[in-house]
Structures are given as C-alpha cells and as structure tokens.
Structure 1
C-alpha cells in the first residue's frame, strides 16, 4: 500500500466580501472601544486596501499605515461616541497614541521574544506585528538606555508617536497580542526593568540590525 501526504479537499464556505468587511469593522470597533474604556486614547488609522492604506483624503501620498485624521494629537480620544462614529462605516485600523498613558518599546523578535518567554505576564501587554516587530507597552517617561539607543532597530514611542494596535491589518498580516492587556489586568510594567532585559538580549545578539530606525517620537500624522 502506498501512503500519500495529500489531504482530502475540504470546500470552504463562501463569505461575501461585503460581509467580511463588516466583520472586520466590528472587530476593530470593539477593540477601539475596549481601549477607550480603559483610558487609552485611540484614533482611526487608514484602511488597508490592497497593497496600500487609504485614509480617505484625496491625493494623500502616504502608502503605509498612517492616521486617517489631520491631527492625531487633537483627534485621539477616549470618548465612546466619537470612537463608535469613526468605525460606523469603515474598517479603520486602530491607532494608540503614546507618551501619556504608556510608552511603547518596539524591538525585533530576537530581542523581544526571549523577554516575554522569561517574564511571562510580568512583561505587561505585548503586541506583535506580522513583520516580526515586538511592541512592549510600558509606563511612560523613561528614555532609552544607551545600549538600546545605539541600535537602529529599537524604537521608543513616546510623546507625539503612535502604534497600530491589534487587530489592525498591515500588508504583511494582522497585528496580534502576544500578551493581551486584559490578561495582565491592564497594568503596565516598569520601563527600566523591561529595558534592562532587552539590553541583555541585545548584548547577546549577533549580526547587524535588519530594520532601520523609524521616526519614533517624531512620527506625525502628516
């Protein structure tokens, strides 16, 4: 008898694109509302349409993920009415502003994964992009340690910056939680402790960073 690795064909149910869009919009809206309820200011991000992001502004030249509002600092809010209104018709990505409720330490997987493996829930909320960027939400105000600041693939998002929050969709795939905020009671870890462990991993890492430094705290809606 000959064995084969071929799996039996299973027909997947057809889901109309319009229904998929509504499901995405509901998931994104619910996530935005949950963040806002816990005091994390949110704003709508551009909608992923094919290989680029559409913010709804005619002639916008930005093709990557970016805000769908003119001024992120002025628009970001925790007001439930405004949040519901933004996601009433379009599946906007969910952007979290940084520097007030929390800062974000964005690092490559080689630095981030070992920290979550070792600290577990003590690492606090941690989001991961499909491109392999790990984002640690920490208490705000702590500057980067010197050894991390020297690395071009480490970004501290503070005042004036933002991150795409799960379940926002990037070109490479959706952003997901490695450690959801609800799992840790929406508490944030001490930034110095997380940086200490990231720095230890950076000292053991070999090779040159592959991801260039982003605009970090200079990131703007424009």
Structure 2
C-alpha cells in the first residue's frame, strides 16, 4: 500500500494512491536525530553515567567539528574525553544543541565494559535473561557488557585478542549512536535491569564458559580496538 493523495476527477474528489515516500527535509531528519541523541545523553547523565560528545557520521567519515581533524572513524569531539565527560545537565544539553554528536560513555569510574565478539556475547545474553546487566551491540557485531568497575580480565579471556576490557581512560559509543556499519543498540537496556550493574567476575565466568565452547575464529587485534577508543 502506498501513501494517499487526493485529486479532482470529473467534478468530484477521489482518492488516488502513490508509492512515493512523503518528502521530509534533511534538516528535519537531522534535527530529529539530534534530539534523540541529546535525550539519550541526558538520560545517561541523569543516572550518574558521565557522557561526552563524539564525532558523527557525515558521508564516508566522522565529523568532530575540529577543522583539519585527520581521524576518519568514530572518535571524541573533545580534546580529552576522560576530563571533559560530564553529568551536568547544562553542559550535556549544550553539546547537543546544534550537532548530532554520537554519545560516548566513559569507562573506569561508573562502570567497566567487556567487549566481546558475537559468538561469546550472544549466547551469554540469551541465556542469562538480564543477569549479565545492560548489554549493547554494534552493527559490526561487537557485544558490550556493562559491569561494576575495577576487575581485570581473567586469564583465559585476557589471552583472546577479540576480547577487550574498557576501564580507566577508555570509552564506548552508546545507543543510539551510529557507527560506519550502522547504529548501536541495546540488547538489554539499563531500564530492564533497573540500572544495576552485575558482578564482573560472574559475567566473565559466563563469557569464559562460552569461549570454551566456541571455535577459535579470525580476530580483530586488540590494539586496534583500544587505540580507536583512546582518549
């Protein structure tokens, strides 16, 4: 079914159908996206999770607003994400007043993040029904488990180059941010677990069990992941 339009035919009004999509000005789409990102940032900040503005996709690269910036991928739009991240409502609103910045969450204080491939993340999230706390996933298939901070990776996970622990000095893109491959989304929203964070050792145990069952895949080197997240 298409969209309806009215036309005059032989002195009476008749409904005709068109498959053309209604025209929406790009500026309106940009504004709607910016408002959605700002509301998400304000929600995180209101829960005590420091946020910072990130570069946003414009064509084949990401724009942070700094002239001549050589970084083409997702990166902070501030000089030091760790020092600039804030929960202040006025500061957060100001960052998203004119630009559709991606929403970055700093790690190491309010929470750490365990970033794993889908072959580890999906079975743990599916089986645990929220016991593993908030879980986000990127369109590229990287699963991010938010846990209480301070616990290093256990040995069998630390040996895997496709597993990254984001702690002090790092950050993650939070939903509804957009990466080159597509949007970041929640698999388990913070609201579903009442914004509580799980014991990192318990989550790591479940991920380690999934790793023991999974075959060894080609992996993305860990240094690539940590470097692109660096403040």
Q: TM-score range by the shorter chain?
A: over 0.9
Match of 1:52 among 51, 56, 61: 61
2:123 equivalent to 1:109 = no
Match of 2:226 in 1: 216
SS at match of 1:192: helix
Instruction: Pick closer, same or farther for the CA change 1:217–1:198 going to 2, 3 Å.
Output: farther
Match of 1:181 among 187, 190, 196: 190
Question: 4+ residue runs of structure 1 moved beyond 4 angstroms?
Answer: none
Q: Check conservation: 1:93, 1:169, Cα contact below 8 A.
A: yes
Q: Check conservation: 1:43, 1:96, Cα contact below 8 A.
A: yes
Aligned length: 214
Measured in 2, the distance between the counterparts of 1:112 and 1:157 equals: 15
2:208 equivalent to 1:199 = yes
Match of 1:90 in 2: 99
Cα RMSD between the aligned structures? 1.6
Q: What displacement does 1:59 show? A: 1.2
TM-score (norm 1): 0.92
2:169 equivalent to 1:160 = yes
Measured in 2, the distance between the counterparts of 1:121 and 1:53 equals: 33
Q: Per-residue CA shift, 1:36-85, capped at 9, x if unaligned?
A: 00000000000110121111111111111100001112110000000000
What pairs up with 1:3-14 in 2 under 5 angstroms?
10-14=19-23
Match of 1:128 in 2: 137
Measured in 2, the distance between the counterparts of 1:29 and 1:102 equals: 21
Structure of larger gyration radius: 2
Q: What displacement does 1:207 show? A: 3.0
Q: Check conservation: 1:160, 1:217, Cα contact below 8 A.
A: no
Q: What displacement does 1:211 show? A: 2.1
> What runs of 5+ residues in structure 2 fail to find an aligned partner?
1-17
Q: Check conservation: 1:104, 1:157, Cα contact below 8 A.
A: yes
Q: What displacement does 1:217 show? A: 8.6
